[in-house]
Amino acid sequence: MKKIIAFSLLLLICNFYFAQDSKVNQLADLYINQAFKTHPEYGTMYGIENADNVNLGDNSMNAIEIQENFEDSLFAELIKIDKKSLTKVDLLTYEVLFETLESDKECRICKEDLWLLSHLDGWHIGISRLCEAQPVGSELNRKNTLKRWIKIPVFIQNEMDKLKEGLKQGYSTPKVIVELIITQLDEQLAIPFKESPYYIPATKDTLKYFGLELEKIISNQIYPKIKEYRDFLQFNYLPKAKSNIGVSSNPDGFKCYEAKLRANTTLKISANQMYENGVKRLNFRKEKIIKIGNELFKTSNFDTIKSIVSDTSETFKSKEELIQYTKNALSRAEEKLPHYFNIITKQKYKIEPIPAYASMAINEYQKPMHKDVDSGVFYIQLYDFKHQNKGLIEALAFHEVYPGHHLQGGIQLDLANSSKLLELIGNGGFNEGWARYSELLADEMNLYSNDTNRINLYFRFGIGMIVDPGIHAKNWTHSDAIKYYTDYCPNLSKKAIENLVLRIIITPGQMTSYGTGESVFLALRKKAEEKLGDKFDIKVFHDKCLENGSIPLNLLEKNINDWLEQN
């Protein structure tokens, strides 16, 4: 019955709009609008116009079925469209929406809603970030905040209910992650009410009564429910959680993993093929390291070079030094962009520290969701500055901002005559592949401040393509994964390696997207250079890669091949 209602509603909306716009474009808009309806907190965090600043996403069991029915109805309408009749932009929109919906459907076998707990971006981190973005300063905004805050305990209860159901069906998050989240919750509960993230809206408002009301909700409703959730994890969930760290130990886990590989890379690839591709990427970088090591240290022995790099790794003396080092790198990059790109984004960016309450979070770039906001944000991790390698910090700056995510995401947002879907949606294979390619491009642009930093760049192996399927498809243990990173990444601290492995455990397939996408961009560039010879223009090639936004990698290959055929 619910499916019939969802389908009927979809048809009603489609029939209203399709007279005014192309059917594929309207289906894409429905998908985007549904995303913000399902997760209204995203609208607040991204500052979209007319955001719903009152509600939280419906994370109940019932909501899962409603969302799946909506997507199925959308997909049924999409595949009725004759692709031959579509314009270039509409065809791109079609292909992106098709890949998104079909890969999402494949991933349903994972039943992530019933077991996925994340120390990186779980609800206890996400809601805290929402506190930073929640609008205040007016009576309406205060009322909206109080209404939203009293919904937080319901949201937490729904999370517990789903985890209970997951255990009944044989699903769980690995023990090592559960233990980590319990520690995070203990740290959060130890914070006095007025210093907690949940109290942030009151610190940005001037009326005393608002702070008092917010404190009541935090002390009487939110903290007690967090404590209940924490105790549930400790005494009910943890004893039943699995010790195996791979998703393959869940029901249908192997099928789930290969679905996650597609979702993260947009390519239909087996776990074994991914592993083999990872070995090829490792050998590619080893060759680069040996070549540079020969130039710098007069040795071609990989282990000797690794030892030298380990001994000469540079770290930071203060948070301020780390920030300034990042700014200096990005200033050099921005200055040289016109020599490598014709299309340069108009969007600005700013650097902000990752809040203390998210100390396990990683450096990340958050692009704006519409063109009229001040800037994108590069969130930089400062808490462990003493163990952060200078070469890797430069590589991350180029990866996240210029010529990486900010440039690519900004161009995507600037696209003329584009659908909203093409402006906003992205995939890991393209986005992370471009950003990892950008680290190598930065070397070509002479952006690294010294040769030690250059060789450190190449020690950023794409071994996520090896360790990820190792854990999730080949039954690697925690110590197996740690050892593999230790053997190949001398510039990473023990803590950094541990964090990487924990990240792979909780995000099956995600770490394969970097090396996979990088290899596609490098292969397409090599093909273009060989085909065009002296006519090859690096600026035109880069523009062709980025001009359509974050599209599936097979579609990127087709577009580049079509361009080469015309030249």
> Exposed (0-12), middle (13-18) or buried (19+): which is 211, by Cβ within 10 Å?
middle
In 269-400, the DSSP E strands lie at 349-353, 364-366, 376-380
Q: In what order do the strands lie in the sheet containing 376-380?
A: 349-353, 376-380, 364-366
User: Cα–Cα distance between 476 and 212 in angstroms, integer?
Assistant: 51
Do both 315 and 442 map to the same domain? yes
Q: How many domains does the chain have?
A: 3
Tokens (6 digits) for 38: 């399902």
Rounded alpha-carbon distances, angstroms, from residue 423 to 29, 34, 413, 514: 11, 16, 5, 21
Do both 278 and 415 map to the same domain? yes
Tokens (6 digits) for 534: 């002296």
Do both 383 and 429 map to the same domain? yes
Do both 164 and 270 map to the same domain? no
Q: What is the DSSP letter of 300?
A: -
User: Cα–Cα distance between 184 and 68 in angstroms, integer?
Assistant: 32
User: Cα–Cα distance between 108 and 489 in angstroms, integer?
Assistant: 35
Tokens (6 digits) for 507: 């995000």
User: Cα–Cα distance between 246 and 506 in angstroms, integer?
Assistant: 9
Do both 298 and 346 map to the same domain? yes
Tell whether 565 is covered by a domain: no
Give the closest residue to 377 by CA, choosing from 407, 342, 349: 349
- 315-353 residue pLDDT tens: 788 999 999 999 999 999 999 999 999 999 988 899 988
User: Cα–Cα distance between 2 and 10 in angstroms, integer?
Assistant: 12
User: Cα–Cα distance between 504 and 487 in angstroms, integer?
Assistant: 17
Tell whether 477 is covered by a domain: yes
- pLDDT score of 248: 96
- 4-39 residue pLDDT tens: 333 333 433 344 344 346 899 999 999 999 998 999
User: Cα–Cα distance between 475 and 483 in angstroms, integer?
Assistant: 15
Which residues in the chain show pLDDT less than 50? 1-20
Tell whether 563 is covered by a domain: no
In 288-360, the DSSP E strands lie at 349-353
Q: What is the DSSP letter of 237?
A: I
**What number of H helices and E strands is found in the chain?**
27, 3
The DSSP H or E segment spanning 15 is: helix 2-17
User: Cα–Cα distance between 542 and 537 in angstroms, integer?
Assistant: 9
Domain termination residue (choose one: 480, 500, 519): 519
Give the closest residue to 508 by CA, choosing from 212, 283, 174: 174
Tell whether 11 is covered by a domain: yes
User: Cα–Cα distance between 38 and 244 in angstroms, integer?
Assistant: 32
Contacts with 219 (C-beta within 8 Å, 6 or more apart), sequence order? 193
Tell whether 364 is covered by a domain: yes
Rounded alpha-carbon distances, angstroms, from residue 275 to 38, 153, 253, 464, 470: 36, 42, 17, 9, 8
Give the closest residue to 155 by CA, choosing from 219, 48, 229: 229
User: Cα–Cα distance between 391 and 405 in angstroms, integer?
Assistant: 18
Cis peptide before 251 (omega within 30 of 0): no
- pLDDT score of 21: 61
- pLDDT score of 3: 35
- 266-320 residue pLDDT tens: 999 999 999 999 999 899 888 989 998 998 889 999 989 888 877 666 778 899 9
Which residue do the tokens 């700056």 mark? 397
Do both 19 and 158 map to the same domain? no
Where b means 16+ CB within 10 Å and e means fewer, 431-445 reads bbbbbbbbbbbbbeb
Do both 43 and 120 map to the same domain? no
Domain termination residue (choose one: 110, 130, 146): 110
Do both 385 and 407 map to the same domain? yes
User: Cα–Cα distance between 61 and 67 in angstroms, integer?
Assistant: 10
Tell whether 249 is covered by a domain: no
Tokens (6 digits) for 51: 């955001």
Tell whether 250 is covered by a domain: no
- pLDDT score of 13: 39
Check: CB of residue 106 under 8 Å from CB of residue 262: yes
Rounded alpha-carbon distances, angstroms, from residue 267 to 260, 509, 510, 516, 521: 10, 12, 13, 9, 14
Dihedral in degrees, nearest 10, Cα atoms 552, 361, 121, 39: -70
CB atoms within 10 A of CB 65: 13
Domain termination residue (choose one: 110, 125, 152): 110
Q: What is the pTM of this model?
A: 0.91
Tell whether 543 is covered by a domain: no
- Domain range for 385 is 261-519
Do both 68 and 177 map to the same domain? no
Do both 378 and 233 map to the same domain? no
Do both 346 and 412 map to the same domain? yes
Do both 157 and 291 map to the same domain? no
Which residue do the tokens 């696209």 mark? 415
Tokens (6 digits) for 224: 């007690």
Tokens (6 digits) for 157: 């209860």
Tokens (6 digits) for 519: 């290899």
